[in-house]
């Protein structure tokens, strides 16, 4: 390595490096290697290219920056601090990875303003970025006019070898290439080091050829350690490519500046130590003590504040003019950006009586989407190649989001469940009022679980439409019959899991899913039909659990049912009641919402004095024993299913009125 000069540019770049070294050293935890290696590209992008306003991190038309290699978060925190974001002070840098700090171990949107996505698992960030780019492209196609580009910003990503090895990134980037997302630009930190050592122990492909095959524009900057000008020019060139996403491979040295640890796995995820920090200071001609930044560096970086404020003022004036010229579109975009739903958006959600034909809840879901579509223009989504099984199409909508029709709001994700969930998160991260939904079979939630977890963690109101929710799937057999999936999703904090028992409850689930913009919803829907019940309603779903059939006085036994098994409880209760027993039936479409009710309400539905309870659900019993106690039973699925017609599966595994009655008699 050749020692860096002390030009202002070098001082700025080395400020990023040394903040990372000092913060990781102080906490004795973190990943200094990436920020030390990526400092030049971070500087080039944030100082020379990025349109952003440190005084308003939520300005709508800002460029979005995603650090997909989230472990290197000191790069992002250093850039936020140096460019003047109030969310990251020098004291926050000093408290890196400590309790209550604004500089956690991976970037989190809900902790630190200026962080666009919660980049946890590798590959998730670049996949989120595809969603951000889809959101920008869709809104631009919908709202821009020949004389006014009111939606006009880029999505930039820094990703590493780890991101490029994760399958989720391959799925998402393949989709991005198909959709020709020209405003998505990725900077690939090619440092050839991962935790296990040099990448050639497992990763020898030509990454740029792969991306070229995806339909991306590719470039290579060979000297990522010093060539700020070359990086800047490559980004500017990428911006000129409007019909392809772009990836720029930037070859760097991990931990650049550390004489003994750079270019080794040892600097990937461990502090350099005080002795090596001193040697790094000497190598970089850095004459300042820990956490001290020269005034001229702050002055230079914080030009971003005036630049950003001027950019936002220009955009505000343009939007004001846009609203005058195009009052209808202007009012709609303004409403969306404020996070407000349209008036009467839910007015066409259907309600049902027992006289109405019973349908599968996946079909009720399609009817709900058809009712919401015209009234909720921000609804956007699709399916992972299962449109005609999930019924995720919006009635009356023609065509889909394609390179030639990005104004459309139906997305064909292809057989890419993993990427679909991350892309939906990205659309939600865009914070433009769009409401994303995506469909697949419930059992394939296992592909999506990492991103679903990030939906919940990051308070993203993504709607997961998960059909074929039990052994009622039938002939596809146990590989496609979810058993443990529903209880495992219920175990996820901040996730609403709905299993509606008829049409009314499906409408209610959709209403709540749309209203909950800071909680994702999983709608678990049946393949098989079920009758509409007499006492269900859209409104009662908000209680999570409620009485659908009751007796006089204190019941002898309470049935608790969900989904297609709610009707089993209703029918079994009739037979048990005919024996002179007092029976109550409770529908429990959403356990999370029931748990959030007042204790007095929960006691009124499930009196603690009534010990005999029967839960009926064609899923694993995990979690239900809280409600059945020692005196109750679960009629559930604690083994894998079988390949046979759905009705035969339900019968053979005991989901019949006869079996429910017989099992209930045993505890009476």
CA distances from residue 648 to 472, 493, 645 in whole angstroms, order as listed: 9, 35, 5
Give the three-class secondary structure for 559: strand
Classified as helix, coil or strand, 579 is coil
Helices 228-240 & 33-48 angle (0-180, nearest 10): 60
Quick one: DSSP state of residue 46? H
Cα(447)–Cα(422) distance, integer angstroms: 11
- List all residues 6 or more positions away from 13 whose beta carbon is below 8 Å from its beta carbon: 4, 39, 40, 43, 228
Q: Which of 9, 171, 417, 565 is catalytic?
A: 417
- Three-state DSSP state, 439: strand
598 assigned to active site: no
Integer Cα distance of 626 and 467 in angstroms: 26
Strands 463-467 and 435-441, by their bridges, are parallel
Tokens representing residue 151 in the block:
């939606």
Angle at CA of residue 463, ends 459 and 465, nearest 5°: 150
Residue with tokens 């066409």: 348
**CA atoms lying within 13 Å on the CB side of residue 107:** 28
Select from 66, 79, 190 the least CA-distant residue to 125: 66
Residues 6+ apart with CB under 8 A from 204: none
Contact 248, 221 (CB under 8 A): yes
- Indicate the angle between helix axes 657-667 and 565-577, nearest 10 degrees: 60
Bridge partner list, 437: 381, 463
Q: Residue 250's beta-bridge partner residues?
A: 189, 221
Q: How far is it, in rounded angstroms, from Cα 278 to Cα 357? A: 77
CA separation (Å) from 527 to 388, 563, 645, 658?
A: 12, 11, 12, 22
CA distances from 49 to 36, 316, 363, 654 (A): 20, 20, 48, 64
| β-pairing verdict for 184-190 and 246-251 | parallel
Distances (CA, A) of 371 to 382, 384, 502, 630: 16, 22, 17, 44
Catalytic residues: 417
């Amino acid at each position: 390595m050749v020692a860096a000069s002390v030009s202002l540019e070098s001082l700025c770049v080395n400020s990023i490096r040394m903040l990372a070294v000092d913060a990781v050293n102080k906490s004795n935890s973190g990943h200094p290697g990436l920020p030390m290696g990526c400092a030049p590209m971070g500087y080039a992008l944030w100082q020379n290219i990025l349109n952003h306003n440190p005084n308003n991190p939520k300005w709508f038309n800002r460029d979005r920056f995603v650090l997909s290699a989230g472990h290197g978060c000191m790069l992002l925190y250093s850039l936020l601090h140096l460019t003047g974001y109030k969310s990251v002070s020098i004291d926050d840098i000093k408290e890196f990875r400590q309790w209550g700090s604004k500089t956690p171990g991976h970037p989190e949107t809900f902790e630190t303003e200026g962080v666009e996505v919660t980049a946890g698992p590798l590959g998730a960030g670049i996949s989120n970025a595809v969603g951000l780019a889809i959101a920008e492209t869709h809104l631009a196609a919908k709202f821009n006019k020949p004389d006014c580009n009111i939606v006009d910003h880029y999505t930039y990503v820094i990703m590493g070898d780890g991101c490029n090895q994760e399958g989720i990134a391959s799925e998402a980037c393949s989709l991005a290439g198909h959709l020709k997302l020209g405003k998505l630009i990725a900077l690939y930190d090619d440092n050839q080091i991962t935790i296990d050592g040099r990448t050639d122990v497992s990763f020898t492909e030509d990454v740029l050829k792969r991306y070229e095959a995806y339909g991306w524009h590719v470039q290579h900057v060979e000297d990522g350690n010093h060539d700020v000008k070359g990086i800047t020019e490559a980004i500017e060139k990428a911006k000129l490519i409007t019909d392809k996403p772009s990836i720029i491979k930037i070859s760097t040295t991990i931990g650049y500046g550390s004489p003994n640890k750079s270019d080794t796995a040892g600097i990937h995820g461990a502090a350099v130590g005080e002795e090596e920090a001193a040697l790094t200071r000497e190598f970089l001609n850095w004459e300042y003590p820990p956490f001290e930044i020269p005034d001229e560096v702050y002055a230079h970086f914080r030009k971003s504040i005036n630049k950003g404020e001027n950019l936002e003022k220009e955009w505000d004036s343009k939007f004001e003019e846009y609203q005058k010229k195009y009052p209808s579109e202007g009012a709609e975009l303004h409403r969306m950006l404020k996070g407000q739903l349209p008036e009467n958006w839910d007015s066409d959600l259907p309600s049902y009586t027992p006289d109405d034909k019973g349908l599968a809840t996946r079909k009720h879901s399609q009817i709900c989407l058809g009712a919401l579509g015209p009234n909720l223009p921000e609804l956007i989504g699709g399916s992972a190649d299962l449109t005609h099984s999930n019924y995720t199409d919006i009635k009356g909508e023609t065509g889909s989001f394609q390179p030639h029709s990005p104004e459309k709001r139906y997305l064909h994700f292809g057989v890419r469940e993993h990427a679909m969930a991350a892309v939906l998160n990205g659309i939600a991260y865009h914070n433009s009022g769009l409401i994303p939904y995506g469909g697949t079979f419930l059992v394939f939630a296992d592909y999506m679980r990492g991103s679903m977890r990030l939906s919940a963690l990051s308070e993203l109101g993504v709607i997961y439409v998960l059909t074929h929710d039990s052994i009622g799937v039938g002939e596809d057999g146990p590989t496609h019959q979810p058993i443990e999936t529903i209880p495992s999703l219920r175990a996820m904090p901040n996730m609403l899991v709905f299993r509606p028992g008829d049409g009314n409850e499906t409408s209610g689930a959709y209403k709540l899913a749309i209203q909950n913009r800071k909680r994702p919803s999983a709608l678990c829907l049946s393949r098989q039909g079920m009758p509409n019940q007499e006492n269900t309603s859209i409104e009662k779903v908000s209680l999570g659990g409620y009485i659908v059939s009751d007796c006089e006085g204190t019941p002898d036994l309470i049935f608790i049912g969900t989904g297609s098994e709610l009707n089993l409880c209703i029918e079994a209760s009739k037979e048990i009641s005919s024996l002179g027993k007092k029976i109550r039936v409770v529908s429990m479409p959403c356990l999370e919402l029931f748990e959030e009710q007042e204790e007095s309400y929960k006691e009124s539905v499930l009196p603690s004095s009534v010990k005999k309870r029967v839960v009926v659900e064609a899923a694993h019993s995990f979690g239900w024993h809280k409600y059945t106690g020692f005196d109750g039973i679960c009629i559930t699925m604690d083994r894998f299913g079988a390949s046979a017609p759905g009705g035969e599966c339900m019968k053979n595994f005991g989901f019949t009125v006869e079996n429910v009655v017989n099992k209930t008699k045993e505890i009476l």
